[in-house]
Amino acid sequence: MSFTPTIELLSQYRVALLCVFATAYVVARARRAARLPPGPRGLPLLGNVLQLGTHQWVQMAKWSKQYGPIYSLNFLGKPAIVISSHKVAADLLDKRSAIYSDRPRLIMTGEVLSGSLFFAFLSYGDAFKKLRRAAWEGLNPRASEDYLPIQEREAVLLVEALSQDSEHWSDHVKREIASITLSFSYSLPPLTANDPLIKRVATFDHTLEEAARPGAYLVEIFPWLNYFPVWMSKWKQDGNRWHEHYSAMFLDFYRDAKKRAAAEECGPCVSSVIMKNKEINEKEAAWVAGTLFATGSSTTSAAQHVFILAMLLFPDVMRKAQAQIDEVVGRDRLPNAGDRAHLPYIRAMVRETLRWKAIGPLGLPHELNRDDVYEGYLIPKGAMVFYNLWAMNSDPEVYPEPERFRPERFLDETEITEVIPPNTHGEGHLAFGYGRRTCVGNSVTNNTLFLNIATLLWAFNIQKAKDKNGTVITPDVNNFVDHVNVNHPAPFPASFVYRHSDVPHVLASSKSERMSLL
């Protein structure tokens, strides 16, 4: 009997074992050599939690000037990494997305209230991939083109509402955005100003927002509380009740769309796309469609408010945009989706709206699923990773005079060809997030903002309002309300004045035409 194979096998084992030890040695040395990025000294046990204040991104931006574009914080013993640089964020969250795409555990919002069906809160695994894939099927760039008639219709209805009632302009914007998102989610007709559906959507947003507020529930700090039975946990009773309530609401919407689709009475929408998906069950499909319209409504509405604020404070930008619209569109019709290629300044205004005042200043934090080393710094497994959009979108090295609303920054000297800063995913800003967590609805959002901006500026001069004494009211550019994940301008008055006497006639004709197409 020959012993050669056994000897060869033992040699292979030795080589393999040597490789394992060598790898372990290299990793161990790297970990010993690496240290957490520098950061501010915190309090015993609490770390830096109490030092952040109400507008956390502002304090984080100040620390970045002291400690650099990547630094660390301590949240009750849990390490947190803060990124304030386009390059660092791209290096880690994009190029190393395989290990930077997890989420910190959110027990109340992610597991109890949403029943692990709100995919934005899920850890990076099979469930997240399945639900996000379903959402992408309904909102990818190709699918989003099917929703353009909805967005064109709603832009007309918004202009009509504002022409009749400028005082409540914010309510009209919220109604329009809610109507768009419900339509592309379920193929529903336009919402009326006092439609109860608007309140139902707003209630879900508010419930989710309050549940996700840091410190709202001790279980997020002490996860062992989750092992207490339901009868001993008021928070769990509330979460279960909310889950049943919103699951029933989303299922009602979804089943109605499914019924209309079977009767061939349902137009293009997310529900009609994902109901063909055999990978997910009915409840999962209902939550995918429901969370898309709920979250999409709040963020797009906030961005639309930012645009109107900018027009009040930078009227020269408004007049320049109006000149291009008049040249391309004329006065005989309203702007439409076919004008996108011919209105580069309006496209730049969309980019600048999403850059100028970040509506999601910190986004949702990522979490690392294994140790990593970057620029000699250790980023440990389980660390939360924040990307400070507010700081990066205000970086003067990338955006000169960042406090100004300047769409020209995204155009070359001819103001025809787009110039997009690197490491911004071709958007020019970072509003849609990073890596495998990038927003699936970016195309729909861009189209909504483009059509709204072009149509509003075709029809109106957006002006500062006056008080009862005739004094012009200038809104505070820095007065924003923090709704956990959405930073919204505080209420301010505005006036919408027809630019030409022919607007009502063209508006009526366009409304009749666009309503008949749906």
Query: Which residue's entry shows tokens 């409840």?
Result: 283
DSSP 464: E
How many residues belong to the chain? 518
Return the H-helix or E-strand segment holding 496: strand 494-498
For residue 139, give both structure tokens: 């909102």
In DSSP terms, 487 is beta-bridged to 482
* CA torsion through residues 502, 508, 513, 515, sign: positive
Torsion angle of the four alpha carbons 300, 305, 307, 310, in this order, in degrees rounded to the nearest 10: -150
For residue 221, give both structure tokens: 């700090």
Separation between Cα atoms, residue 504 and residue 242, nearest integer Å: 45
Return the H-helix or E-strand segment holding 206: helix 196-212
| Intra-chain end-to-end CA distance of the chain, in Å | 83
Q: Cβ contacts of residue 286 below 8 Å, gap of 6+? A: 247, 250, 251, 253, 254, 255
Q: Are 156 and 176 in contact (CB under 8 A)?
A: no
Is 19 annotated to bind a ligand? Reply is no
Separation between Cα atoms, residue 387 and residue 82, nearest integer Å: 6
Beta strands at 78-83 and 384-387: parallel, antiparallel or unpaired: parallel
CA atoms within a 13 Å half-sphere pointing along the CA-CB vector of 15: 6
Neighbours of 56 (CB within 10 A): 18
For residue 231, give both structure tokens: 């009868």
In DSSP terms, 82 is beta-bridged to 71, 386
Let me know the angle formed at the C-alpha of 27 by 26 and 28, rounded to the nearest 5 degrees: 90
In DSSP terms, 463 is beta-bridged to 495
Q: Are 362 and 73 in contact (CB under 8 A)?
A: no
Which residues make up each annotated binding site? 439
Which residues make up each annotated binding site for heme? 439
